[in-house]
Amino acid sequence: MKGKKFIWGFLSLLVVYLILVQSSCPPDDDDETTLTTNVYLSGNTTSTAGFATPCYWKNGIRSELSCPADKNGVATSLFVSGNSVYVAGYTSTGASNAFVPCYWKDGARSDLPIGTALKGVASQIVVSGSDVYISGMVGSTGTSVPCLWKNGVRSDLVSMTAEGGSAHGICIEGSDVYLSGSIMNNDSLFVPCYWKNGARTDLSIMTINRFCFAGGIAVSGSDIYVAGYDQNLAHVAPDRPFLWKNGVRTSLTMDYATDYDGNAGSVFISGTDVFVSGSVFKLSSNAKVPCYWKNNIRTEMTMVIDASKNSYSSSVFVFENDVYLAGSSENSAGVCVPCYWKNGTRTDLSVLDAAKNGFSGSIFVLKN
């Protein structure tokens, strides 16, 4: 049962760094002649006292989000509808610091129901009309349940075993609800899948005896795209990034002569182009470099704070032919600085304490 102990630690890293993903279901454009392009990012910054504080940035201006006093919180995903800003995430509570899934609308927090479970996480949020959809998981000792909240009402998703799994990405296409996620198989290994209106489709894996994770999901017409990667159990072999289209798996471009490994997080569709966010570990610098793949051609973000330190990308968004990538970049002291790249140019985001870590998880761009 080696996967049980791994699931909650994995999810925490996943939410902060990679698979807290942005759906490729952008809002409809309004009258652009009178509107301004605004860049929103969700994430968290760390207080001087050491507490993770959920927040979002609009055009670089940070707004902190409420969470219980002297507790941690993480903002995992963001969606803008009209003039309202919706942020999904979780906070810790009680003596055990159990995670409580929640979302904020214009700064007001609403905790999500977890029933008899002991903890839960909200991963991604999408708003369609007046409906608010949130993907995530609830869990108890030794098990987790992937789920969807619609307007605060939870629906559990079908897993493969009692060990369960988690729902990550979410996309609404017409009246259909798509979610991507990772579930545990009979060997206690994560395997990727997606659900359409609650019906699960398992995705192919390249190699058995490895964890394989599904990150973001995007739908364009009748085509369903899921990004993800696999991981060696002992971390002694490279992680490998993938994109599935209608269940057919494609390895994303890597050069293992210069790249040790790579991972893929979110997927975004712009016209006929498919963008996937990720990071690759470069042997030359012994550090991770953020990147995105456009139609499986990789572009690396060379504008990082310190090329000898790790930098990460967590989600990609395309707006008016500009490519935005959310993530973080470590400085020479090893502190993660939240940032985003627009067409390769990096913009750092404000934090509570420059000596503490901060992260940006998802990015959303529109005119409003």
Residues 6 or more apart whose Cβ sits within 8 Å of residue 98: 92, 118, 119
CA distance 279 to 277: 7
| Whole-number pLDDT of residue 19 | 41
Counting Cα atoms < 13 Å in the Cβ hemisphere of 342 gives 15
CA distance 327 to 333: 18
Q: What is the mean pLDDT of residues 334-354?
A: 98
Burial of 165 (0-12, 13-18, 19+ CB in 10 A): buried
**Structural domain boundaries of the chain?**
4-367
Q: What is the mean pLDDT of residues 307-320?
A: 97
Per residue in 34-87, pLDDT tens? 789 999 999 999 999 999 999 999 999 999 999 999 999 999 999 999 999 999
DSSP for 88-146? EEEEEETTTTEEEEEEEETTEEEEPP-TT-SEEEEEEEEEETTEEEEEEEEEETTEEEE
Is 80 exceeded by the pLDDT of residue 5? no
Q: What is the mean pLDDT of residues 301-326?
A: 97
| Whole-number pLDDT of residue 67 | 92
For residues 258 and 268, which has the higher predicted lDDT (pLDDT)? 268
| Whole-number pLDDT of residue 102 | 98
Q: What is the mean pLDDT of residues 344-363?
A: 97
Confidence of residue 21 (pLDDT cuts 50, 70, 90): very low
Distance in Å from the first CA to the final CA of the chain = 49
CA distance 144 to 316: 28
Q: How many CB atoms lie within 10 A of CB 306?
A: 16
Mean pLDDT of the chain: 91
For residues 178 and 142, which has the higher predicted lDDT (pLDDT)? 178
Phi, psi of 27, rounded to the nearest 5 degrees: -75, 160
Is 50 exceeded by the pLDDT of residue 18? no
| Whole-number pLDDT of residue 24 | 55
CA distance 117 to 60: 37
3-class state of residue 81 by DSSP = strand
The answer to whether the CB of 252 falls within 8 A of the CB of 261 is no
Burial of 58 (0-12, 13-18, 19+ CB in 10 A): middle
- For the chain, helix (H) and strand (E) counts, in that order, are 1, 28
Is 60 exceeded by the pLDDT of residue 228? yes
Query: Would you mind telling me the total number of residues written for the chain in this entry?
Result: 368
Confidence of residue 13 (pLDDT cuts 50, 70, 90): very low
Residues 6 or more apart whose Cβ sits within 8 Å of residue 236: none
Is 90 exceeded by the pLDDT of residue 11? no
Phi, psi of 295, rounded to the nearest 5 degrees: 50, 40
Topology (CATH level 3) of domain 4-367: Neuraminidase (2.120.10)
Phi, psi of 366, rounded to the nearest 5 degrees: -160, 170
Is 50 exceeded by the pLDDT of residue 299? yes
Confidence of residue 22 (pLDDT cuts 50, 70, 90): very low
Is 50 exceeded by the pLDDT of residue 3? no
| Whole-number pLDDT of residue 120 | 96
